[in-house]
């Protein structure tokens, strides 16, 4: 079945460590996105990519980095510069003729100890 796979589902990290969250899709979608979800704040866009080797900052990109070397993959690195990294991270994708429907992965919950 086609879909989006995020890993790991749960991740713990110590302060000062970088961590990379994986996102893979087999939907043949051109666009991919990373959102951060915090209680009571909805979803906020971190980065998005509309094509391989290109990506744009979203509303809260500081302290995060991404790469898009393959169409299927859009990993997110949470760096030590991110001041409050504990959150639920959601990856999504959409087709070229985007009708607004985003397909989401099941999320990765990051906890900083």
> Contact residues for another protein (CB under 8 A)?
4, 31, 35, 40-45, 48, 50, 58, 90, 92, 94, 98-102, 104-107, 109
Note whether 3 and 93 are within 8 A (CB).
Answer: no
CB of 83 to another protein, least distance (A): 21
State which residue, 76 or 92, has the beta carbon closest to another protein: 92
Nearest distance from residue 17's CB to another protein, in Å? Answer: 24
Render the burial of 32-45: b for 16+ CB within 10 Å, e for the rest. Answer: bbbbbeeeeeeeeb
Name the residue nearer to another protein (CB basis): 14 or 97: 97
- Residue from 106, 97, 3 nearest 50 by CA: 97
**Residue whose C-alpha is closest to residue 107's, from 35, 15, 19, 28:** 35
Q: Which is nearer to another protein, 41 or 84 (CB)?
A: 41
Least distance in Å: CB of 76 to another protein?
15
Residue 12 vs 17, nearer CB to another protein: 12
Residue 39 to residue 30: CA distance in whole angstroms: 29
């Amino acid at each position: 079945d086609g879909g989006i796979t995020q890993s790991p589902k749960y991740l713990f990290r110590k302060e000062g460590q970088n961590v990379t969250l994986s996102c893979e899709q087999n939907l043949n979608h051109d666009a991919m996105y990373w959102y951060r979800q915090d209680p009571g704040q909805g979803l906020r866009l971190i980065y998005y990519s509309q094509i391989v080797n290109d990506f744009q900052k979203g509303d809260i990109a500081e302290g995060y980095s991404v790469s898009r070397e393959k169409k299927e993959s859009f990993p997110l690195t949470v760096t030590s510069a991110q001041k409050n990294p504990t959150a639920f991270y959601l990856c999504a994708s959409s087709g070229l003729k985007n009708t607004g429907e985003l397909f989401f992965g099941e999320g990765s919950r990051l906890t900083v100890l």
